[in-house]
Amino acid sequence: MKLATLAHRVVLASGWRRRLIALGAGALSAFAMAPYDLWPLLILTFPVLIWLIDGAGAGTAGVRSAFGAGWWFGFGYFFAGLYWIGMALLVEADQFGWLLPFAVIAIPAGLALFPALGAAISRLMWTSGPSRLFAFAVGFGTTEWLRGHMLTGFPWNSYGYALAAMPVIAQTAAFVGLWGLTFLTLVTLASPAVLADGREATSRPWLAPLLAALTLVVLALIGAHRLATIEVGRVEGVRLRIMQPNLPQDEKFRTSAKQAVMDRYISLSDRATGADTRGIRDVTHLFWPESAFPFFLEREADALARIADLLPPGVVLVTGAVRLEEARSGEHEPKVYNSIRVIGDDGAILATSDKVHLVPFGEFLPFQSFLERLGFEQITRVRGGFTPGSGRRALAIPRLPPAAPLICYEVIFPGQVLPEAKRPAWLLNVTNDAWFGNTPGPHQHFAQARLRTIEEGLPLVRAANNGISAVVDPLGRIVRALPLGQDGVIDSILPMPIEPTLYARFGDGPVLVLALLFIMLVLIVRRSNKRSS
């Protein structure tokens, strides 16, 4: 079948056929993300979305039709890409299993409103010929930015992560961040849609995809040059060890298993990694994952004593741990924080950092008190929900430069991972992805954490319960890693940071310039078309 014939059928599709085409294109697009990284699929699916918007018609009815096509595309995309969220509800299926339809259907349905709005905005700006690619990028790029910020934000699997799977093109994030990479992904990978245009609409239909391909080649060359020429040093006198216990989620939070959990942590942390190694005595810093203990650490003197016995003189433990702050006068409930604790070789807690950006429905409920009175509770089952930290601050760890502490999905938010004060020297991410088992979720989480290193020019140390634990340099290159679903330890250097990137200095400013440029191009073409008609 000729491309023009296929495009014509998509443009003229109506009713359930139109919805099914959009749904299938969206679902197929999800495989462009980790762990599959089949980004060329977007060369097939984005043009289908372009043709669906072409067929939406004019006026208010056309905007509504485009909105519908965008919603079905988004529902397919988020359903196929985020189904694994439902796994968290099966950890305590007797309590939360009934919410499974909400996780796998209602969440994608809600998130699909953003691409639906993107399609509607695109239709309002729509033109004929190649210039509609810029309208498409503005519509969907803008609503992706909104998705990353509205209602606490959820920028998971934004389209820019597709091209970020290629290390050379991922370097573009150092200049324009994820959002700029998303705009570029939309405009370049949708360009084959123009090949189906008639000669009356586009005199040289091959030119748009050619320019798009050249753009990607130029970005790849710039990225390759960056990887080849920027030297990354190492912090002297530092040897890191990351312990990945790979504990099942139902065991990790079971209070009766606290002795077995500590035994596993102690044993793994002191594991020799070779014939000539001495276990923990070879390192200066030990890292454990998020919410490492099924108890409050301050209340378990025995656990702190065991940690002190484990740590040789001068070795420091950095671990995730739920923290309890007793109720003050006038308060009815104690406050519970999801925290990172720094522990010295004598078992003393030296520093603490609390999670700032909490997970809705996982760590807190909207309208917490009201919903609790109705019998609802968040997945972590903490009465009153977790309390957010008071602000993002650097974490001081003995014998290490200042770190930017990020707990779980705090690492997925572009431009929001650093303290507002002095720039830290590295990113620290502790997480527990065991909620989601051996699914695409942990792979996607790691891919997003990895892109933050390129955006900020800072290395990353990541400790995960079941994977992926890793050390990543400030160019996004993996220094050491443990795969998903494997227990063990990795020993590694700590890479040095590089100079602040363009994105680190100016944030989304360059992206705004790019979006305005696209809008200007669309407006110029629309004005020209009006004059010629």
For 115, the enclosing helix (H) or strand (E) is helix 113-125
| Per-residue pLDDT at 380 | 67
pLDDT digits over 347-403, tens only? 999 999 999 999 888 777 776 776 666 666 766 667 778 899 999 999 999 999 999
Catalytic residue among 290, 363, 410, 455: 290
Write the DSSP assignment of 319-372 as a string of letters.
EEEEEEE---TT-SS-EEEEEEEEE-TTS-EEEEEE--SPPBTTTB-TTHHHHH
**Is 326 an active-site residue?**
no
Please choose, from the candidates 487, 437, 91, 442, the residue with its C-alpha nearest in 3D space to the C-alpha of residue 288.
487
Asked if the model's pLDDT at residue 330 lies above 70, the reply is: no
CA 498: distance to chain centroid?
22
**Is 290 an active-site residue?**
yes
| Per-residue pLDDT at 434 | 86
Contact 338, 363 (CB under 8 A): yes
**Is 420 an active-site residue?**
no
| Per-residue pLDDT at 298 | 87
Catalytic residue among 144, 252, 355, 455: 355
pLDDT digits over 85-134, tens only? 988 777 777 777 788 888 899 999 999 999 999 999 999 999 989 999 99
* Residues whose CB falls within 8 Å of the CB of residue 195, separated by 6 or more in sequence, listed in order: 3, 205, 206, 209
pLDDT digits over 231-268, tens only? 999 999 999 999 999 998 777 677 778 899 999 999 99
Q: What is the mean pLDDT of residues 311-329?
A: 91
Domains of the chain: 3-197+206-230+507-532 (no CATH), 240-356+391-497 (3.60.110.10), 361-388 (no CATH)
| Per-residue pLDDT at 527 | 85
More confident position, 199 or 8: 8
* Residues whose CB falls within 8 Å of the CB of residue 50, separated by 6 or more in sequence, listed in order: 132, 133, 136, 190, 193
Asked if the model's pLDDT at residue 140 lies above 90, the reply is: yes
Contact 295, 303 (CB under 8 A): yes
| Per-residue pLDDT at 352 | 97
More confident position, 325 or 215: 215
Measured distance CA(479)–CA(233) in Å, rounded? 12
Phi-psi region of 415 (alpha: psi -120 to 50; beta: other; left: phi over 0): left
| Per-residue pLDDT at 371 | 63
Which range, of 119-123, 325-329, 426-430, averages the lowest pLDDT? 325-329
Asked if the model's pLDDT at residue 226 lies above 70, the reply is: yes
Catalytic residue among 252, 408, 410, 456: 408
For the chain, the residue count is: 533
Mean pLDDT of the chain, nearest integer: 93
